[in-house]
Structure 1
Amino acid sequence: MSQAAASVTPPRRMALHTRILIGFLVGTFAGVLCYWLGRDAQWLSLIVTYVSQPVGQIFLRLLLMLVIPLLFSALVLGVSEMGDLRSLGRVGWKTLVYTVAVSAIAVLIGLVLVNVLQPGAGMPDETRSALLEGSAERAKSVTAQSAPPSGMEMLVQIVPDNVVRAAANGDMLGIMFFALMFGIALVLTRTPSTDRVKEFVQGVYDIAMTLIDKVIQLAPYAVACLLFTLVAKLGWSILWQLGKYVGVVLLALAIHQFVVYSLVVKVFGGMSPRVFFKGVEEAMLTAFSTASSSATLPTSLKVAEEKLKLPPRIARFVLTVGATANQNGTALFEGVTVLFLAQFYGIELSMVQQVTVLGVCILGGIGTAGVPSGSIPVVMMILAMVKVPVEGIGLILGVNHLLDMSRTTLNVTGDLAAAVVVSRGEPDEASSRSG
């Protein structure tokens, strides 16, 4: 082989998010065209029934197939990564309390905005019926769902009496409770055998992530089919509601980023918000460009020690754990998405169900992979749990990359805010922090 030939580099493959966007546009415009040409035509019904709908359904089922192994392994590892809780004592517990409290605030902001602004509402009943008629069994489960259990019944049912049956019945709260207990037990039991168990769970997580990565490669085609199926029935009206959804997510993220974090670092961290945001600027830009908390971790560690002057011992622990377990933006996104799609399909979620969504989103923030689109399987799991058709995820995938970059920026900022709060009052706290 000649030197010239050896130096030729193969052409770079188009980025996945670009291909998904192309699939989104192709599916949308093809759907609008067919809607105009013959929304009630037999040929369109045949295309939807035998081409676009099956392709989209297979993609969704592949993702749902991987939800339980991914969620269980990620949640177990997320908890067990706090394995230094006993040795770090106060630092570990402060990190845990911060994670739960601020994630709850994030989800609450999203739920309040969706309930107030109603981005998924306004679709005519006949159009909504047309959306649901393609899946008779799912429509039946949506419109005839049993009354939700009372608060005490729900509290009791969170604890599964048979974890295998809980998995078979899709009892995600039971599975998540078992995963939490399993992770805590791994923290408390330090033996060579449990180390091997943790390695096995890590292997399950790695395999699930590899499979999800392979399935996500099919997303451009699946998004085109899912969007074609929806738009061929709805026309342009669906895009207006999608735009409102994107606006609500970005507004909620902005409120949490600039209002909540400013208050947190000022009141609980003793640091000026101006100093904080100026210091974390580089990490925010890296997070926005990579859409990955894990990929941003080296930059976050650097700015925490060099710009924010935080104790390295505290910063390394909080930021390492936070890259997978403290994902406020992801929890907020999951809550907004579930409620938006419930409104979109005309499904009214009770207060008990919304509180359940809030709790699952907090746990989902702990059990979501810190990689691009890592929250999509969790969103699908919550949709199935509250009996909202998972087909709606095709809408979200089309605009997910912008939202993924935005919520990752919030996640990384939240990790750094947590490091500021947790480091306050620690013995090796830097004396040079600005007030």
Structure 2
Amino acid sequence: MASITSPSPASAAAETKTHANYVWALVALTTLFFMWGFITCLNDILIPHLKSVFQLTYTQSMFIQLCFFGAYSIISLPAGALVKRISYKWGIVSGLAIAAAGCALFIPAAEYRVYALFLGALFVLATGVTILQVAANPYVTVLGKPDTAASRLNLTQAFNSLGTTLAPLFGAFLILSAATVAAPDASPEQLDAIRTAEAAAVKLPYLILAVAFLVLALVFAALKLPSVKEDEEQGEQLPGRSAWSYRHLVLGAIGIFVYVGAEVSVGSFLVNFLSEPTIANLPEADAAHYVSYFWGGAMVGRFIGSAVMRYVDDGRALAFNAVISAILLGITVLTTGQVAMWSVLAIGLFNSIMFPTIFSLALHGLGRHTSQGSGILCLAIVGGALLPLVQGALADTIGIHMAFTMPIVCYLYIAFYGSIGCRPRSL
């Protein structure tokens, strides 16, 4: 009769200790997801604010997202190499320090009131956030069992959505509240004084964020986080010479491109869209509060998704949410008033699981190519820079309402990836 070998007390204790270390690491990582969600969503408030300060067109105001998400196209692959060389932990510390410097640069940008300086500060800030994304996302996927990676990433991304939910309220209170309606007979000197005061409104919030990022960098430098490099090297891996050899990763990178592009495009235009007379006719500061419903829906959806996706196939859940998002956008385009307003805000709920699910599905089976794969996926976040420009150009030509047709195509591709394209295989 074959004997059943029980784990030794020493191995059981080691496994318990490892699990505790992983849990503690995941708790620490949630602060990062919160912070970069907060800082990214604050762009949705910065766009209408700087559009007013510098009298920009919709296309010109989308340069904010171009510079922020454009950093991913330049920094992601070097960041992947950097993280592989210095470890996930020190990649996180480096990203936090650079993000703090980017926030601090908003102060001279506001002082001199030059749009190009704001864009430069955003690029530096986004460089830090890119390194954080490259380090933290794959770190979460390997801190535990592979079959629950999507669930873990959805849970931590839920705190990212908490940041995106609170950011519009923070921005409306500290930034958009400084907006002043100039009198019709205001002199050029009075208009200049108003614009200067509005530009200066960004100093305090970004100074607070610079301090927060710097404190987090010091905290993570002091933390003892578990090393998972060995696990990554020895995990189950499909055959492939590099991360580019995996079909599901390449298609997943396209999925990340169109998803981030669609989400950022919708979020970037919400304040201006809800201010339209045919939609809700809200002042910008009031419209910013409704943006929290969009991002709050994503937060609720990620908490739900973290639980549900332990039992539901990841790809099917992704495809279902993408189809519903496309339908809601169709309703937004074809209607006006409250129906159009609430249908576009409801998209946030179904956006919820998309990014972490695409990310984890695309990294499945990459083994020692995981860091490189993460860099490729973060490179694809450049969709958030390019597709909002497309929607901005559409808004300037056919109107902001009809411009919402562009993200529909993006969600249809995501539905394809969830149903067919995510199946792991090497090229």
Q: Report if TM-score (shorter chain) is over 0.5.
A: no
Task: Kindly indicate whether structure 1 or structure 2 has the higher relative contact order, using CA contacts under 8 Å at least 6 residues apart.
Answer: 1
Query: Given the two structures, how large is their TM-score scaled by the length of structure 2?
Result: 0.32
Query: Given the two structures, how large is their TM-score scaled by the length of structure 1?
Result: 0.32
In proportion to residue count, which structure has more helix? 2
